[in-house]
Structure 1
Amino acid sequence: MVETGWVKSSHSGQNGDCVEVRREGTRGVGFRDSKCPDGPVMVVGHESGRRFLAAVARDGELGGA
């Protein structure tokens, strides 16, 4: 399986309260809590990951301030 490094938004602050994302090869897209890098990883299919990332990129789509 080909895995790339973890990425977090350039809008993230320095406090470390972030969700990180990475490609999980053919499995899909992985998400984890940046405060717990050795903790669990949630993996979703590529299409679900794409839709989620597109939704959070739009202002207010997921209830943002």
Structure 2
Amino acid sequence: MDNKEVFARYRGRIIGILAAILFSLLYFFVGLSVAITVFIFLFVGYILGKWFDGDIDVAGYVNALFQRRR
């Protein structure tokens, strides 16, 4: 698998993580708790990237959350 195939397959995750790193660096220079902020932004960026790639079914999770249990 070459780099173009990898980027095409994981484009959303890669862009999400890069965006999270950028935002976390901004918060780092402002002076917030660095470790927690970086973790949160990386996690959110990864999840958003997976969602853009179509690997996460948000509607399914919401339906399961509010589905009536028997």
TM (normalized to structure 2)? 0.25
Structure with the greater relative contact order (CA < 8 A, sep ≥ 6): 1 or 2?
A: 2
User: Which structure's residues are more often strand, by fraction?
Assistant: 1
Give the greater-gyration-radius structure (CA): 2
User: Which structure's residues are more often helix, by fraction?
Assistant: 2
TM (normalized to structure 1)? 0.26
